Structure 1
Amino acid sequence: MSTQPIHVDLPHKLGKTEARRRIADNIHKLTSFFPGGGSVSHQWQGDRLDLDIAAMGQAVTARIDVEEAVLRVHVALPGLLGMMAKPIEAALRSKGSELLLEDRSK
């Protein structure tokens, strides 16, 4: 099955530790990027977050590499979800930092 890759860099000024904390607090909101929502499972590997997302009956794999000043988001959209690549990429670019890095500690 072919996949449509999306790669988005999201700059931030939080440093790795704070960016990781905020992402961990906001993972549950990631399904809002996919039509019909879905479910997310995740696992940290150092400063890389591996994600498995179930959306629209499809399995989506994603990775977020947390760096000192940027989040590197990589998503592989399978099958029919590949047709949604442009709007999903646009949503990540416009709302990704806000969604992933919102400070929920206050």
Structure 2
Amino acid sequence: MSRPLVVSIPHRLGKDEAVRRLQSGLSRAASSIPVLKVDEERWDGDRMVFRVRALGQAASGHVDVAEDHVRVEVVLPWLLQRFAEAAQAAIRSRGQLLLTKKS
């Protein structure tokens, strides 16, 4: 099994507002990336567990929401490992946009 890709995104929203914004965020973000499909998105309190598919490969992970940051952990299949740096940058930029723009 490969090492998980971890991204931490700071925010100033508080836990409840961050969860509220993220609850619709994954599907919305995926719709703007043609090669990404959300297979599962399940919330359990402040944690979202997800499974996505890109380029025919499945990746899974979870998002933990804290008062001042969001921690995203994704396990990429070996075929997508070569895109890990780009995926990390995309997760960070889309997460920051979602957690900082005015709602």
Show the 5 A alignment for 1:24-35: 24-31=23-30
Q: Distance in 2 between matches of 1:39 and 1:94?
A: 19
Shift in alpha-carbon separation, 1:94–1:85, aligned structure 2, 3 A: same
Aligned to 1:37: 36
Q: Distance in 2 between matches of 1:85 and 1:13?
A: 27
Where in structure 1 are there 5+ consecutive unaligned residues? none
Secondary structure of 2:51's counterpart equals: strand
Aligned to 1:60: 59
Where in structure 2 are there 5+ consecutive unaligned residues? none
TM norm structure 1: 0.82
Identity value in percent: 38
Q: Distance in 2 between matches of 1:35 and 1:101?
A: 24
Secondary structure of 2:35's counterpart equals: coil
Q: Do residues 9 (structure 1) and 46 (structure 2) align?
A: no
| Total equivalences in the alignment | 103
Q: How many angstroms does 1:79 deviate by?
A: 1.9
Q: Tell me which moved more, 48-57 or 89-98.
A: 89-98
Secondary structure of 1:68's counterpart equals: coil
Q: Distance in 2 between matches of 1:64 and 1:34?
A: 19
User: Counterpart amino acid of 2:60?
Assistant: T
Contact kept in structure 1, 2:2 and 2:75, CA below 8 Å: yes
RMSD of the TM alignment (CA)?
A: 2.3
